[in-house]
Structure 1
């Protein structure tokens, strides 16, 4: 993780240098608004010896990308909080909310084409909050540790006009956190979701 952090600090510094060199350039920013569905992996691990499952959720999202070269961009993804139910052996035991912002670098294969595929990689920090026991754990104090993880990104931009575009993308995000019930560690929740999204973008 230290290597990834160092890589992104270096990338950000490089982007700043290129930005200064091309300060007069226009159309270097792309803002996107849309929605994404977080679909946790099928095997979410075991908590207190029982099989855990975490449901999916869909929320509005926004991203901002700075193109520091024709094919290269630095992007930040944000969203409204996602909410998930947690079950153990099929029985609901808790619910939680999480914010999973992602900072990444994208490579656009054909930046000037009508249809331009891209791939990317980045880092994610997920903050879990408003976690509470329900069902079997009603009244219990439940806490999930925040998470750092890698992220992968792929998608396609479709130009609708000179400035407007439609983006379809998919991400994989490494998310997992230790779960505590009344202060006791009962295991690790492995979310590691695939994230599917559709958004409209504006280049300026």
Structure 2
């Protein structure tokens, strides 16, 4: 009897969860803002002679998600370019630099919908791939010219919480981890030198308004 009761309870729970799932074929769009917060200690250049520090930035973002199965979506995140100031420190010498980048990220996500959570909140998790392209790099130095940061491809993790206020509209809080590492080069006396790897690998924190269709 206990086994039968457990089986019946499990079937009932699955039926309830399926009934309230986000159905396959649903689209959602999220518009908000995110802060790219690079890790501490962004590496060293020139065989350890130069320490690198990359600052954070906040920009508007937008994402679209298509549900390929109940509660399972494929999401693409886009943004306007993020701007980062870079500080290069070699002993008592400090060199300023800066860059812009775009970090489009494609993720496969699972939404925990229909699990009777407080306030009907809907957590989700995801994993995917990030492609970051750098441009408009500048370095302010009498010795180094033409800073160049190579594009980066790495894994990305995503977790968040949707707080609904209508059946198709939600407020989202989320965080992502992006594996972003870029090879740096500069020109010195007319020659291009590879000077090492900059490890940005940020946490990306955001809020957004989400609309389902």
Check whether TM > 0.5: yes
Question: Conserved in 1, the CA contact under 8 Å of 2:144 and 2:186?
Answer: no
Quote the residue 2:111 is aligned against: 108
Unaligned runs of 5+ in 2: 1-22
Alignment partner, residue 56 of structure 1? 56
Task: Please give the alpha-carbon distance, in whole angstroms, between the structure 1 residues aligned to 2:210 and 2:85.
Answer: 31
Alignment TM-score, normalising by the size of structure 1: 0.83
Q: Report the CA distance shift for 1:202/1:137 in structure 2 as closer, same or farther (over 3 A).
A: farther
Over 3 Å counting, the alpha-carbon distance change for 1:29 and 1:140 in structure 2 is same
| Structure 1 unaligned blocks of 5 or more | 1-24
Larger Rg: 2
| Alignment partner of 2:133 out of 116, 124, 127 | 127
Query: CA offsets, 1:23-75, max 9 Å, x none?
Result: xx787000000000000000100012211000000000000001122211000
Choose from 164, 167, 170 the match for 2:172. 167
Distance in 1, Cα, partners of 2:45 & 2:34: 27
Following the alignment from structure 2 to structure 1, what is the Cα–Cα distance between the partners of residues 38 and 71? 31
Output the CA distance in 1 between the equivalents of 2:124 and 2:105. Answer: 16
1:111 is displaced (CA, Å) by 5.0
Relative to structure 1, the CA distance from residue 137 to residue 159 in structure 2 (aligned partners, 3 Å threshold; closer, same or farther) is: farther
Aligned to 1:77: 77
Q: How many angstroms does 1:172 deviate by?
A: 0.2
Aligned to 1:20: none
TM-aligned CA deviation for residue 78 of structure 1: 0.2
User: Number of paired residues?
Assistant: 179
Give 1:188's aligned residue. 197
Over 3 Å counting, the alpha-carbon distance change for 1:50 and 1:107 in structure 2 is: same
| 1:37 matches 2:46 | no
Pair 1:201 & 2:173 matched: no
Aligned-pair RMSD on alpha carbons? 1.8
1:93/1:137 contact within 8 Å kept: no
